Structure 1
Amino acid sequence: MSASDDDPDLTRVLDALDDADCRAFLRALDEPMTANELSETCDVPLSTTYRKLEQLTEATLVAEETEIRPDGRHRSRYRAAFDAIELSFDDDRDLVVDLERPARGPSERLADIWSEVQRET
């Protein structure tokens, strides 16, 4: 499995995976969804949904993308940011996590760039 440039934090990943709501969101994210869609699909209050999405994003298990819409009313969508998770012990017998990341197409890379521009403005 291939590690990304930003190695995931083991504690954050394990904390997110230990949370039932976070696991429900990961199961639901076959395709990118808005926070409202996830809230409704998983029957989780919207305020809790935003907190859990932040937890998943910080654990690098979910990525936020900006959906660029012709009417100018862009919105955030969330997608699973991994294909597989591997836990193992390194040579020092320390537990490590490795996330296999999906291949990113041009539209996803453009959405990432747009999301980064929005964060900086």
Structure 2
Amino acid sequence: MARPRRRDGPEVQAVLAALEDATSQRIIAALDDPMTASELAESCDVPLSTTYRKLDALSDASLVAEETELRRDGHHTTRYRRDFESVVVSLTDDNDLSVAVERPATPDGRLERMWDEVRRETR
């Protein structure tokens, strides 16, 4: 299960704050494949508590998405994945900053993965 995405897009300040943070940048760079918070903490050499704070900020900025891996033993695992291809910051006609987070062009198969997990769990 994925955490719901905001319909109106991320706030400019949330995106800029997340992108300027060196630890958040390391986390984004490490997410070539979905990873757990523990895997990210180890990979990025960051304390787990800091990793969770950064993941929350990245999620709020719509740059990282959460996926829950359902397991037969009842202990579900949350994995995080990078959820953008590019971020465009521009100036509006009113001289306000605007941010557009561009998502991958091809479907990422989240629904298919979810159904695969459901089928695996019900066997």
Alignment of 1:63-82 (within 5 A): 63-82=65-84
CA RMSD in angstroms comes to: 2.1
Q: Does 1:62 align with 2:41?
A: no
Deviation per residue, 1:55-108 (Å, 9 max, x gap): 1111111111101223332100001111111111122222111011124444x1
What is the aligned-residue identity percentage? 52
Q: Does 1:12 align with 2:14?
A: yes
Residue 116 (structure 1) aligns with = none
Letter in 2 for 1:86: V
Q: Does 1:94 align with 2:112?
A: no
Residue 85 (structure 1) aligns with = 87
Aligned-partner Cα distance in 2 for 1:111–1:10: 31
Paired positions, count? 109
Residue 40 (structure 2) aligns with = 38
Residue 28 (structure 2) aligns with = 26
Aligned-partner Cα distance in 2 for 1:11–1:61: 13
Aligned-partner Cα distance in 1 for 2:50–2:103: 26
* Structure 1: tracts of 5 or more residues without a match: 113-121
Whether the aligned pair in 2 keeps the contact of 1:65 and 1:111 (CA below 8 Å) is no
* Structure 2: tracts of 5 or more residues without a match: 1-5, 115-123
**Larger C-alpha radius of gyration, 1 or 2?**
2
Aligned-partner Cα distance in 1 for 2:96–2:112: 37
Letter in 1 for 2:72: P
